Structure 1
Amino acid sequence: MPTPVDPAPPRGAPHPREHGTARGWAWHHSGLVVADLDAAIRFYRETFAFEVDFLVRDMDEQFRRTVGLDSVVCDLAQLVSPFSGTRLELLEVRGVPAGTPSRFPVHVGVGHSAFQVRDLEASVYALIDAGGSAMGEIVQFEEGRAVYCWTPAGTVVELEEASWD
């Protein structure tokens, strides 16, 4: 597996908007793996009035590199709540290799939380220093770079590089 990050760059003092050792500044979304993306979208639209903000079908290379599994493909939607602004990401994953551990965010019901950070490498190293690890590698998406990581408790967090400027 490729090294997920380059050596940690030197860092100055945190900005007042950055929090914790990973220097997160926003909780961007929570994600859930679902069995049927279209059915899940209908459910959240009808039941809680969520609106689709982003939808992509057949995401392969970027998703494979993010989760560190060569054969997976996903359909992904991000929905937004009209009453809280909360963003919910739904993923339908196909091609999961037999024997993939049940904690991987490719199995139905497994979730993750995504946090925005300004310096992705430094935030990954802070997570590693706290006992976590990178799951796959840092991947460039249209919106910016991101990586999935394991926490010491075995849960999944996504770190997304973004700036509030």
Structure 2
Amino acid sequence: MPDLTAHHYGITVADLDRAVDFYTETFDLDVLDRFEVAGEAFSEAVAVDDATGSFAHLDAGDARVELVEYDPEGDVRTPGTVNQPGAKHLGLAVSDLDGFHGSLPEDVETLSEPRTTESGTRILFLRDPEGNLVEVVEA
């Protein structure tokens, strides 16, 4: 088997511009690229008839955060909690979790204050504007 490395962490969003603003402003991620993909091969690859994807790739260090807005949109799905089968979350690291938490805009929904787990790891979960869970861990 060939050597594998992480390339990107993908999140489907309903409003690409809003999501890009959130991740660039909240996490200070830089936009690496914005592009659209369409056509028969793309539609077949994602198994969505007549799909067009508007993408933004953001720099998250060793991998990219890929935000994608599809046309046509899929069924509306309510994001679940982290303990539900099939749940997903994006994990990002910061060096000062309390400082990061203190810098969050008031409208950013957090699940709790920063917490130290039994293993000694400091974590904070928040939701992006689409309701996706983002775990911020103190590196």
- TM-score in terms of structure 2 length: 0.48
Q: Which has the higher contact order (CA 8 A, sep 6+)?
A: 1
